[in-house]
Structure 1
Amino acid sequence: MLRILFVCTGNLCRSPMAQYMLMDRLAELGVEDVRVKSAGFIAQNGAPACPRGVALTALQGTDMARHRAQMLTRSLLEWADQIIVMEKRHLRLAHDMAPNEGWKMSLFSKFLEGKENMDVPDPYGREEKDYMTTLAMIREGVHNLAMEIAGKKPGDAQLA
């Protein structure tokens, strides 16, 4: 079983968007042997996902209303087979937290064509257009990651 961990700052917007969108996309592709979690460096355990993010992902067909934030821990980093972070600084922080797990860490933008070394902007507390920009990046990256996991080329299926 493949275990994927998405990491952002507060585990309220970006990483849960990626988590729930990936779970949905993998289900659409018939992939069952993947476990997906998310966490944040300064998460308040049990906090709900940001309302605007919940609403906008729902419009994309993904329900993340049940999400509750969790703080990133060393044990979560050790649990994961693949750790995908939203910002370059998250790579450094995660590596500091669990240096032996660094080999399985990557930027989310690795899955964005032509944007491989970019941070995914944090929309928390910003305008709807900022959420839409971030959501579009996450949607594209999740699609490409899901296709990779399913053993297909990203162009084999359209973005859902």
Structure 2
Amino acid sequence: MRKVYFVCIGNTCRSPMAAELLNQKLKDSGLDDVRAESFGLSPFYPDSAEVKRLREMAVLQVTGRINGLKEHRPRGIEEIMFREGDRIALLDADSLGDLLSAIERNPSFRGKHVPIMILGIDDPFGGGSEDYLACCSELRRAIDVKFNLLIGEMRI
């Protein structure tokens, strides 16, 4: 199974919501050979109860359901086993340098082609429910528009 890894800074807001949204879209499309996961460049431990509530509320309002998001816990790149054919969707361009440095240090990336797509989604961390809802809506639009780019080459 190939994976799309959504990456943000703390792995508490954008990237887990994005993974949930893509996994819902994959399920709705009947695609079971691709899975979305997420990690953070500086994972925020422990996951805040308020952030958890806000991200779940946003996904529930945008999609009407939650699948795996309730089990999410922040994790970093050191927990990733990147495989040839996987790809990364970085949620903000400002973190590209940090991502490239982290990839260089992680042995699971060595010798592999690492496709990176930058989505440019604002971070709702520290904001309220309106910020999380706006972020989740923006993530859903980006995933809908870039769906074939996110998974296209994986479906060979």
In which range does the TM-score fall when normalised by the shorter chain? Answer: 0.7 to 0.9
Tell me the residue number matched to 1:104: 115
The letter of the residue matching 1:61 is G
User: Is 1:54 aligned with 2:59?
Assistant: no
- Structure 1 length-normalised TM: 0.75
Higher relative contact order (CA 8 A, sep 6+): 2
CA RMSD of aligned residues (A): 2.5
- Of 135-144 and 77-86, deviating more is 77-86
SS of the residue aligned with 1:78? Answer: coil
Structure 1 outlier segments of 4+, above 6 Å = none
Number of aligned pairs? 140
- Structure 2 length-normalised TM: 0.77
SS of the residue aligned with 1:50? Answer: helix
Q: Is the 8 A contact 2:16 2:38 kept in 1?
A: yes
Tell me the residue number matched to 1:14: 14
SS of the residue aligned with 1:126? Answer: coil
Which sections of structure 1, spanning at least 5 residues, go unmatched?
109-118, 152-160
Cα offset, 1:50, TM superposition: 2.4
Give the whole-Å Cα distance in 1 for the aligned partners of 2:143 and 2:65.
12
Which sections of structure 2, spanning at least 5 residues, go unmatched?
105-109
Tell me the residue number matched to 2:138: 137
- Structure 1's 77 and 6: CA in aligned 2 closer, same or farther, altered over 3 A? farther
Cα offset, 1:103, TM superposition: 4.2
Give the whole-Å Cα distance in 2 for the aligned partners of 1:25 and 1:78.
22
Deviations 1:67-116 (CA, angstroms, capped at 9, x unpaired): 1111222x6273471111111122211111224667411202xxxxxxxx
Q: How does 1:56-75 map to 2 (within 5 A)?
A: 56-59=58-61, 60-63=63-66, 64-73=69-78
The letter of the residue matching 1:131 is Y
Identity %: 24
Q: How does 1:116-131 map to 2 (within 5 A)?
A: 119-131=120-132
